[in-house]
Amino acid sequence: MKRMLALLLLAATAWLAVPGTTYARLPYMTAYFDANQSQWLRIQPIYAPSAAYAADFSEPVDLQVGADDKVYVADKGANRIVVLDDDGALVRTLGGEEGPSRLSAPEGVFVTPDGQVYVADSGNQRIAVFGPDGAYVREYKKPDSPLLGSEHFVPVKLVVDRRGVIYAALNSSYQGLVRLNEDGAFMGYFGANKAQTSVLNWLKRLILNKEQLAKETAALPRPITNVALDGEGFLYTATAAGYGQGAIRKLNAGGVDAFKNKTLEHGHGIVDVAIDRDGFLYNVDMDSGRVNLYDRDGNALFAFGLVDNETQQYGVLGYPTGIGVDSHASIWISDSRTKTVHKYARTAFGDDVLKALVLYTDGKYEESKPYWERVYARNDMYNGTFQGLGKVYLHENDDAKALTFMKTAFDTDGYSKAFWQLRLAWLQDHFIALFLGLAALYLVCRYGAKLIRRALRGRAPSPRWRRVMADFGTFGYILIHPYQGFYRLKEARIAPGVTLAILAAVLGAKLLSVYDTGFLFHPVDAAQINLWSSLGLFAVPWVTWIVANYLVCSIKDGEGKFREVFQGSTFALVPYLVFSVPILILSHIVTLEERVIVDTLTTVMYVWLAATFLVMTQVIHNFDFLETIKNSAITLFTIGIIWLFGFIVFGLSYNLYDFFYQLYKEVSFYR
């Protein structure tokens, strides 16, 4: 027995000593932004953690990568600038123990192409300059200018252009960047954000008088968070808050924003921005907790990484403060929470994707093709691949293939161009057949009804059939003669089968519009369509209109009965049924350049529909025109009240259901 226990103990020890299975899964998710569908979708890693360097940092708050790939880190807590090489080894530190080279809580650093290092020496309220060898050169104090007034000169971030002009962001300054020339003279403010207006401020200006407005706190622009410079001389300002509006602005020498204050995806909590040699933009966003990549126009491409204040995990950021990109496209991020500098290297997949995007953006479609094909081999679910290859096939005049790829990518612009070419080729090949077909259709429409009537002349229809035909005739008559049509309808008793047939036809037209509208006008995946939601948004307004119209007009001495209101509201749908057919057909024929035809028909349909419902209300209830307008407006208000009441009842019912369900779970658990 003892031997058996010893053997079992030995086996258990050996089993525990066997190393467990390890996985190379990254501690964060990578996603790409599909602009055609306006959503983030998961993808394999574009960047992966490469290293994390400590270098005895105290509080790294800013980071700049030099032209020689040396990394300059502003270590605020240690009052120094730390210089690392491409492998993270310490090269030197800037900032003496005493004298003019001594730094105090530096918050920003910038290095020029020739190696001059400019430091936003915030604690000393100056800009300190060091040479390529690390020796102290000079300083810039607050310029003697009345335009600066009493503003405290506390630079926190800065860049220097090729002319030697300094652009510095001051602490909490809303007036923009301060510009200083090489001699330190003040050249004015630059690139200030626009003040944010709100509905409350608009109401105050509308209601309050001048004295009251003077006591109100003025709406001030948001201060610039960070600033960067690209190789072409454009300045990029980063501004947090504003839900991404103007989060990154690309300013030329005149201060004009090339991005036009656009709203940036993942830009609400922006910390810093960097630009690589291909023009891609990178930022760190605390709100989304991601590192984000954008194209040259500020359109979102990819997002990766994770921000966790309690992190102790490799590759996860604690509190990122600065970002830079080296010549190998590696991303460097300073992290004051973990007191490290993180390095992320681009993956092979990321290399292919971003190289393809560069060539694709430059119009080099043929050169981008092998890169897109490699991306497609690794991931056949990335819509950017279909869009890129679609452009290639479009350039190669393979329009059929381009059409397929553009549709898969939900790229309506590229699809329209390919479709235009295919349609032109089809018309050239089938013009005579098309002409003869249209002529035959015209003859059928013109003489077909006469032939049918002549054939049926000797066969008298039954009274019931004549009544049904008369009811359907009234339905068509209302389209052109709404007043006479509704007067016919007012005292008539429409057969239930006719009403149901009309409603079934309208429902069928709606289903066709949901599932069979041309791709250019309805670019969605049919599998993602919520049919009940689409039908509900169509049917619920119509049903509540009937109820509200009857209730309101009954109170306002309207003569219409509920049956008449129901019949009239059904027959008033004739414009929708008549117009939806040509709109549906044209949606498969026209291109984006010609969509004005479909848009015009759609607008006419809805205007005609509203006019028909208005006439129905006037005739059925025997109102004059002004009474009709007033009661229709009250009807719309009543519809809103009904919907609000419905939402409240639904919410309370759900809460009641959830209460009993949770109670049932508790009882079942402790039973």
Residue 314, domain CATH: 2.120.10.30
Q: Is 21 a domain residue?
A: no
Position 537 pLDDT exceeds 50: yes
341: Cβ contacts below 8 Å, ≥ 6 apart: 52, 53, 55, 57, 60, 63, 71, 73, 84, 88, 332, 333, 334, 335
Question: In whole angstroms, what is the distance from residue 535 CA to residue 528 CA?
Answer: 15
Domain endpoint, select from 459, 481, 512 = 459
Q: Is 633 a domain residue?
A: yes
Query: Which residue do the tokens 């013009």 mark?
Result: 431
Cβ contact 47:344 at 8 Å? yes
In a shared domain, residues 570 and 635: yes
Going by their DSSP bridges, the two strands 166-170 and 177-180 should be labelled as antiparallel
Query: Which residue do the tokens 């004051």 mark?
Result: 336
* HSE toward the beta carbon, residue 615, CA cutoff 13 A: 21
Question: In whole angstroms, what is the distance from residue 516 CA to residue 85 CA?
Answer: 60
Cβ contact 366:395 at 8 Å? yes
Which position has the higher pLDDT, 353 or 564?
A: 353
Domain endpoint, select from 325, 346, 367 = 346
Position 448 pLDDT exceeds 80: no
pLDDT (tens digit per residue) in 171-202: 988 899 999 999 999 999 999 998 776 666 66
In a shared domain, residues 342 and 368: no
Cβ contact 274:261 at 8 Å? no
pLDDT band at 65 (very low <50, low <70, confident <90, very high): very high
pLDDT band at 19 (very low <50, low <70, confident <90, very high): very low
Query: Which residue do the tokens 């310490």 mark?
Result: 90
- Percent of the chain at pLDDT exceeding 70: 90
pLDDT band at 23 (very low <50, low <70, confident <90, very high): very low
pLDDT band at 332 (very low <50, low <70, confident <90, very high): very high
Q: Which of 112-126, 314-328, 477-491, 617-631 has the lowest mean pLDDT?
A: 477-491
In a shared domain, residues 203 and 276: yes
Q: CATH code at 370?
A: 1.25.40
Which position has the higher pLDDT, 504 or 149?
A: 504
In a shared domain, residues 571 and 611: yes
Q: At what angle do helices 596-621 and 625-670 cross, to 10 degrees?
A: 100
Position 16 pLDDT exceeds 60: no
Structure tokens at 556: 């306002």
Q: Residue 81: its pLDDT value, please?
A: 96
Q: Is 293 a domain residue?
A: yes
**Whose CA is closest to 517, among 577, 573, 585?**
585
* HSE toward the beta carbon, residue 631, CA cutoff 13 A: 27
Q: Is 7 a domain residue?
A: no
In a shared domain, residues 272 and 420: no
Q: Is 596 a domain residue?
A: yes
| DSSP code string of 216-243 | SPP-PBPPP-EEEE-TTS-EEEE---GG
268: Cβ contacts below 8 Å, ≥ 6 apart: 240, 241, 242, 243, 244, 247, 285, 287, 288
In a shared domain, residues 309 and 428: no
pLDDT (tens digit per residue) in 135-170: 999 999 999 888 787 788 999 999 999 999 999 999
Question: In whole angstroms, what is the distance from residue 441 CA to residue 422 CA?
Answer: 24
Q: Is 116 a domain residue?
A: yes
Q: Residue 21: its pLDDT value, please?
A: 40
In a shared domain, residues 278 and 382: no
Total number of domains in the chain: 3
In a shared domain, residues 486 and 558: yes
Structural domain including 172 reads 42-346
User: Rounded mean pLDDT of the chain?
Assistant: 87
Q: Is 366 a domain residue?
A: yes
Q: Give the residue ranges of DSSP H helices in 481-530.
A: 482-490, 496-516
Cβ contact 96:78 at 8 Å? no
In a shared domain, residues 288 and 397: no
In a shared domain, residues 451 and 502: no
* HSE toward the beta carbon, residue 518, CA cutoff 13 A: 21
φ, ψ dihedrals at 574, nearest 5°:
-55, -40
φ, ψ dihedrals at 487, nearest 5°:
-65, -35
What's the mean pLDDT in 103-111? Answer: 96
Position 561 pLDDT exceeds 90: no
Neighbours of 631 (CB within 10 A): 22
In a shared domain, residues 477 and 612: yes
Q: How far is CA 506 from CA 378, 482, 512, 536, in A?
A: 46, 18, 10, 14
Cβ contact 321:62 at 8 Å? yes
* Run of H or E residues at 366: helix 365-378
Question: In whole angstroms, what is the distance from residue 78 CA to residue 378 CA?
Answer: 46
Angle among Cα 525, 529, 535 to the nearest 5 degrees reads 145
Domain endpoint, select from 328, 346, 364 = 346
Q: Is 397 a domain residue?
A: yes
In a shared domain, residues 356 and 319: no
Question: In whole angstroms, what is the distance from residue 462 CA to residue 442 CA?
Answer: 31
Position 17 pLDDT exceeds 70: no
b/e for 581-592, b at 16 or more Cβ within 10 A? eebbebbeebbe
